[in-house]
Structure 1
C-alpha cells in the first residue's frame, strides 16, 4: 500500500465526512416521509436516494484508488501500471459525478413542479430542462470515453492515438452544466412571483427548494480548474476534480433533503409535548379505570384548533 500524501488524506477526510452528513440527511428524510407523514417516497426523493447511492460508489471507488492505487500522488511518482489504474478510476469517477449530478437536477425539478402544480407554463419549462439534463448527461459520459482513441491516450504520452480538443470539450460540457444549474436556481421565482409573501420569505423558500445554487458553485469551481482538466500531470490534477465531485454530490444531497428538516423538528416537538402531557396527567391520577382515554389530539397536531 503506498504512503498517503497530505492531499490524499484530505480527500478521504472531506469525502467521507460529507458522505456521513448526507447519509443522516437521507435517513431523516425517509423517517419524515415514511414514518411520520406515512406516504410513499416520491420520484424526487427516489432520485435523491439514487444520487446518494451513486455518490457513495464514487467516494468508495476514490478511496480504493487512493489507498491501493496511489491516487492523489503526482503521476511521475507512479509506475505506468499504477498510473493506468488510477487514470481509469478517475474517468469512472467523472462518469459517476455526471450521473449523480443529473439525478440531483431531476430531483430538484420534480420537487419544484410538485410544489407549483397549478403552474402549467412552469411545468412545461421544467420538462424541457429535464430533457436537456438527460441529453447532457449522456453527452458528458460519452465525451469522457470517446474524446481520446484509444482511451489511454488521455494520460499516457507514449501511446499513439488521437484526442479531440479536450479544453473546448471540457468548457462546453461544464458551461452547459452551469446554465442548467442557473435555470434550476431561477425556476422557483416564477412560482413565487404569483404569491403574496415578503421578499425575505421568498429567499428562504428558494434556498429550501433549490439544489441549483450548490451545483452552480461547484460547476464554477470546475470551470475555474480548466488548466487541471488538461494538465500533463493527469493523476494529481484529476484527483482535485474528484474531490470537487465527491463533496459537490454530498452537499447536493444535503440540500435536496433540507425541505423536510423543519417539518421533522416541528413534528417531533409536538409529539414530545403530547408525551410529556400524557405522563403528567397519568401521574396525577386523572386516568382511572372507569374513565375513557383523554383526547390528546390537540397536542399531537401541528396546528392549534380554532376557538369558536
Structure 2
C-alpha cells in the first residue's frame, strides 16, 4: 500500500489547484480581450497556450508523485514501486518545465517584435529567441542523456549502467534560464525610455515589463534549495523543489498574460 501524502505534498496540491485556476483564467481573459478589441491571434498567444499545456503536464506528474511516489517521505521508507515513481518523475518534470519556460520566453519576445517597430530592437529580440531555442534543445538533451545506457537507469539500475549527478544539470539549466530571463526583462528598457511618451506611461510600462523579476526571485530560491539540499534525501526534499519548479512556470504564464496588450 502506498504511503499517505505528506503535509508538504498536500500543500503543494493546494498550490496546484489554485494556480491551475488562476493561469487558466488569465489565458482565457487574454483571448477574450483579443476577441473584444477584434485583434487577430498572434504567435505570442499560441505560445502561451503551449506553455499552459506544459504546465498542466508538469502538474500531472507532480500529483502522480504526491500520491504514488511518496513525495516528502524519507527515501528509506519507500517501497521499490514508490521509489521508481519518484525517480521517473525527474525526467517527466524536466521536459515540460523546459518546454514551458522556453515557450514563455518566445511568447514575450514575439510580443516585443509585435509592439516595437525599432529595427535594432527586433534584431536583438530575434537573437534572444535563437538563444532560447538553443537553450531548450541543449538542456533537453542533457536531461535525457544523463544516464547510460538510457534514462531508465534512474529507476531501473543495471550493473553496467551509470547516471551523472542530476543536481549539476539542474543548476546549469536554472542558472542559464535565469540569465536569459534577465536579458529579456532589461532588453526593452533603453528603447522604452527613448520613446516619445509621457513619463507616467514610461514608468507604468517599465513596471509591467519588470514583473519578470518575480520569476528571477523564484529561480534564485530554487538554486539555493538545490545547493543546500544536494547531499540530503532527494524524495524528502521534493515538495520544495516541486513548488519552485511549478511556481516559476505558473508565474511566467500570469506575467505573459498581464503584459499582453
TM-score for both structures, normalised by structure 1: 0.76
How many residue pairs were aligned?
259
User: Which residue number in structure 2 is paired with residue 113 of structure 1?
Assistant: 113
Matched, 1:59 2:79: no
Matched, 1:90 2:90: yes
Deviation at 1:153, TM superposition (A): 5.2
Asked if 1 retains the 8 angstrom alpha-carbon contact of 2:212 and 2:255, the reply is: no
User: Which residue number in structure 2 is paired with residue 146 of structure 1?
Assistant: 145
Matched, 1:74 2:77: no
Task: Pick closer, same or farther for the CA change 1:42–1:78 going to 2, 3 Å.
Answer: same
Deviation at 1:64, TM superposition (A): 2.2
Task: Pick closer, same or farther for the CA change 1:196–1:81 going to 2, 3 Å.
Answer: same
User: Which residue number in structure 2 is paired with residue 279 of structure 1?
Assistant: none
Gaps of 5+ in 1: 264-308
Task: Pick closer, same or farther for the CA change 1:66–1:165 going to 2, 3 Å.
Answer: closer
Deviation at 1:62, TM superposition (A): 1.2
Asked if 2 retains the 8 angstrom alpha-carbon contact of 1:90 and 1:238, the reply is: no
**C-alpha separation between the residues in 1 aligned to 2:153 and 2:230?**
12
**C-alpha separation between the residues in 2 aligned to 1:220 and 1:161?**
33
Deviation at 1:259, TM superposition (A): 3.2
User: Which residue number in structure 2 is paired with residue 5 of structure 1?
Assistant: 6
Asked if 1 retains the 8 angstrom alpha-carbon contact of 2:12 and 2:243, the reply is: yes
* Moved >6 Å (runs of 4+): 155-158
User: Which residue number in structure 2 is paired with residue 241 of structure 1?
Assistant: 241
Task: Pick closer, same or farther for the CA change 1:23–1:179 going to 2, 3 Å.
Answer: same
Asked if 1 retains the 8 angstrom alpha-carbon contact of 2:226 and 2:241, the reply is: no
**C-alpha separation between the residues in 1 aligned to 2:63 and 2:3?**
13
Asked if 2 retains the 8 angstrom alpha-carbon contact of 1:106 and 1:130, the reply is: yes
Task: Pick closer, same or farther for the CA change 1:94–1:131 going to 2, 3 Å.
Answer: same
3-state SS of paired residue (2:187): helix
Task: Pick closer, same or farther for the CA change 1:235–1:145 going to 2, 3 Å.
Answer: farther
RMSD over aligned Cα, in angstroms? 2.5
Task: Pick closer, same or farther for the CA change 1:184–1:53 going to 2, 3 Å.
Answer: same
Task: Pick closer, same or farther for the CA change 1:242–1:60 going to 2, 3 Å.
Answer: same
Deviation at 1:78, TM superposition (A): 0.6
3-state SS of paired residue (1:253): helix
Asked if 2 retains the 8 angstrom alpha-carbon contact of 1:73 and 1:236, the reply is: yes
Deviation at 1:164, TM superposition (A): 3.4
Task: Pick closer, same or farther for the CA change 1:7–1:14 going to 2, 3 Å.
Answer: same
3-state SS of paired residue (2:195): coil
**C-alpha separation between the residues in 2 aligned to 1:148 and 1:32?**
46
**C-alpha separation between the residues in 1 aligned to 2:110 and 2:127?**
12
Asked if 2 retains the 8 angstrom alpha-carbon contact of 1:94 and 1:245, the reply is: no
Asked if 2 retains the 8 angstrom alpha-carbon contact of 1:44 and 1:111, the reply is: yes
TM-score for both structures, normalised by structure 2: 0.88
**C-alpha separation between the residues in 1 aligned to 2:18 and 2:167?**
32
Offset from partner CA, 1:183-206 (integer Å, 9 cap, x none): 001011032132134555434213
User: Which residue number in structure 2 is paired with residue 15 of structure 1?
Assistant: 16
Q: Larger Rg: 1 or 2? A: 1
Task: Pick closer, same or farther for the CA change 1:201–1:76 going to 2, 3 Å.
Answer: farther
Gaps of 5+ in 2: none
